[in-house]
Structure 1
Amino acid sequence: MARPRKFDEQQVLRSATEAFWTSGFAATSLDDLTQATGLGKGSLYGAFGDKQALFQRVLDGYCDNATAGLRARLSGSNSSSAERLRALFHAVAAVGDTPAPQRACLLAKSTAELAATNSEVAAKAQRTFTTIAELLQAEVENGQAAGDIPADRDARRTAHHLLAVLRGMEALTEASMDASVLRDAADAALTAAGLDAI
């Protein structure tokens, strides 16, 4: 009979996430992971498999949380779809006002580092970005149905445009670009979608 685990799996995954997020996949060694998680190499491998398998668990959890967070942000009956889209872009642009250095989201960082050589990472990135685009498209369509977004906008293409701008804004934030650049990008994207600027 296998002995019960004497550690909190979710806490270990959170610690591993921080390690990979800080240094990237290649630069995070097994020693880094054992130090971050507090587990020995045998326990780490026994519970999660090799470094690649652990990283995939980390990335899957991060992407699932990110899409769940966006779904929650874009739901609710207290505001309209148009208001929720404006609030989303306002929130991303406002990150540029914080003085602390920002880091890219783990998905963006992992995609840049690994998607060309790791099919699992590439597939997860594509699925996640597709889900985000679908959530944005649903909001655009809801806004059109409510008369808040012009009906002549192609909802799918508009969602793809919004997705591209959001991802670009996140990259600019990591580069410590002035907050006015982020606001300009947000305003232009919202205007193109037929929404009032923030």
Structure 2
Amino acid sequence: MTGRKQFDVDEALDKAMAVFWQRGYADASLDLLSAATGLGRGSLYGTFTGKDELFRRALDRYCATYGARYEDALTAHPGDPVRAVEAFFEVVLARIGDPAVPKGCLVAQSAAQSEVLTADSATHVRHLLDRQRARIRAALDDSHADPGTLDDLATYVLAVNQSLAVLSRAGIPDGELRAVVRLTCETVANQLTAVG
């Protein structure tokens, strides 16, 4: 189309995602987002209607990129929920340790900033956390524990995952993060054995 700038929406979302991931929602100004994506404000508003929708779309892009990896890890060991949780954390640690992406987790960082998000975006972040918890809970279903214990363990694993992201962003060494994962997996195994 003559006279209109063409651009790759997914590429723009990847670049915006990196800004939100590095800076957080509050500090990701439209000027920073425009500079990162190479799009003027008009193009940003024309495509995404504003910062808030761009943020939610960037979150969805983040979850599409990493969510499939988590899902694969959690479903790769049917009948062995402890191994599924271990595999999940292996993916988490690999992402945290990847020097090609910002430290931490976009969802964890966004959850920590919920008070400055719009109601729609805060709800969206909560939905993404709930979806991750549901994936973990489904992997734990392969045990004989009562549903209440499995619910509690799913929330516990979710909480540790989000904590790992915060700790990694604070510069905690990989060895210490791995110690947290080891203790978490031992706790899950012990809880499932105690009630199995």
Mark the structure with the bigger radius of gyration.
1
Whole-Å separation in 2 of the counterparts to 1:192 and 1:15: 38
Equivalent positions of 1:112-191 (< 5 A) are: 112-115=112-115, 117-142=117-142, 144=143, 151=145, 154-191=149-186
User: What is the number of residues matched between the two proteins?
Assistant: 190
Deviations 1:103-143 (A, max 9, x none): 2211111222234552122211211111111111111121x
Structure 1 residues 77 and 62, CA gap change in structure 2 (3 angstroms): same
Q: Which residue matches 2:193?
A: none
Q: Which residue matches 1:60?
A: 60
Whole-Å separation in 2 of the counterparts to 1:184 and 1:53: 38
Partner amino acid, structure 2, of 1:170: A
> Per the alignment, in what secondary structure is the counterpart of residue 103 of structure 1?
coil
Q: Which residue matches 1:42?
A: 42
TM-score (norm 1): 0.78
Whole-Å separation in 2 of the counterparts to 1:187 and 1:169: 12
Whole-Å separation in 1 of the counterparts to 2:130 and 2:15: 28
Whole-Å separation in 1 of the counterparts to 2:53 and 2:97: 37
Shift of 1:94: 6.3
Question: Conserved in 2, the CA contact under 8 Å of 1:25 and 1:55?
Answer: yes
Question: Conserved in 2, the CA contact under 8 Å of 1:16 and 1:37?
Answer: yes
Question: Conserved in 1, the CA contact under 8 Å of 2:73 and 2:84?
Answer: yes
Mind listing any 5+ residue stretches in structure 1 that lack a counterpart? 146-150
Q: Which has more helix, going by share of residues?
A: 2
Whole-Å separation in 2 of the counterparts to 1:39 and 1:178: 37
Q: CA RMSD in A?
A: 3.3
Question: Conserved in 1, the CA contact under 8 Å of 2:109 and 2:166?
Answer: no
Equivalent positions of 1:46-125 (< 5 A) are: 46-76=46-76, 80-93=80-93, 103-115=103-115, 117-125=117-125
Shift of 1:78: 8.5
> Per the alignment, in what secondary structure is the counterpart of residue 172 of structure 2?
coil
